[in-house]
Amino acid sequence: MRDLKSIELLVDLLADRVGGLVSYASLAEELQVSPHTVKKWIGILESLFVVFVVKPYSKRIERSLLKQPKIYFFDTGRVKNEAGARFENTVACALYKHTHFREDTFGERRALCFLRDKQKREVDFLTTVENEIEWLVEAKVSDSEPSPALGHFQRMLALKASVQLVRSLRRPTEKEGVKVVEAARWLQLLEAL
């Protein structure tokens, strides 16, 4: 019974951390259990389709396994943070579902990750197809100016497709290869992209 209460508390703690890096050690300390136990419980929550884990992008898989992930909820109503975290969770769900739909339907090897470097520049999402980068995606509630980190990684990786999804946008723009578009329209057209 104690484990059940602790798992419920873990869900509440994760709801406050949506969009941020998740430290198993920090959660373990708050829950007074081992990091291994926290990781096991998160695995259970994944199996029950309560949460899904988005890992950092790395060409070398062993490096991405060691770094802190982000955790999102399938039920976006669980997210307690401000509008930005709820919106990022919504975009994460759409990309996650698209990734798995394409894998299941067309047999493509796909992954949903995020990108972060040592200077703490971060892009919310990076998608891959057959281990090649497909899109960099940044989620913003209202900022129509392209994210500096998105522009940096766009240039560094020499990508054709980078997009900043904005929940409330008056008009789409493009700056140095980064498209700033209305999120609802882009996500609606996701299957055609």
pLDDT one-digit tens code per residue, 31-75: 999 999 999 999 999 999 999 999 999 875 444 445 899 999 999
Q: Are 123 and 91 in contact (CB under 8 A)?
A: no
Least reliable range by pLDDT among 109-113, 133-137, 176-180: 176-180
Instruction: Give the other-Cβ count within 10 Å of 79's Cβ.
Output: 22
Is pLDDT above 70 for 134?
yes
The domain of 136 spans 83-192
Q: Are strands 110-116 and 122-129 parallel, antiparallel or unpaired?
A: antiparallel
Q: What is the structure's pLDDT at 59?
A: 72
pLDDT at 132: 92
Instruction: Return the pLDDT at 82.
Output: 82
Question: Which residues lie across from 112 on neighbouring strands?
Answer: 127
19 and 88 together in one domain: no
- From 47, 78, 109, give the residue that closes a domain: 78
Q: In this predicted model, what pLDDT tens digit does every residue of 6-43 receive, in sequence order?
A: 999 999 999 999 999 999 999 999 999 999 999 999 99
Domain boundary among 13, 48, 78: 78
Place of tokens 């299941």: 104
% of the chain exceeding 70 in pLDDT: 93
Is the domain of 128 the same as that of 163? Answer: yes
Query: For 69-97, what is each residue's pLDDT tens digit?
Result: 999 999 998 997 688 999 999 999 999 99
Q: Predicted confidence band at 137 (pLDDT cuts at 50, 70, 90)?
A: very high
Q: In the predicted model, is pLDDT for residue 193 greater than 70? A: no
**Looking at the structure, do residues 41 and 109 belong to the same domain, yes or no?**
no
- The conformational region for residue 69 under phi > 0 = left, psi -120 to 50 = alpha, else beta, is beta
pTM of the model: 0.91
Give the number of domains in the chain: 2
Q: Edge to edge, what strands does the sheet with 178-182 contain?
A: 70-73, 51-56, 110-116, 122-129, 132-140, 162-166, 178-182, 173-175
Tell me what the pLDDT averaged over the chain comes to. Answer: 90
Domain with 180 in it: what CATH number? 3.40.1350
- 2, pLDDT greater than 90: no
Percent of the chain with pLDDT over 90: 72
For residues 117 and 88, membership in a common domain is answered with yes
Mean pLDDT of 129-136: 92
Confidence at residue 65, expressed as pLDDT on a 0 to 100 scale? 45
- Domain end position, chosen among 60, 78, 96: 78
CATH number at residue 35: 1.10.10.10
185 and 91, same structural domain? yes
- Kind plus residue range of the DSSP H or E element containing 175: strand 173-175
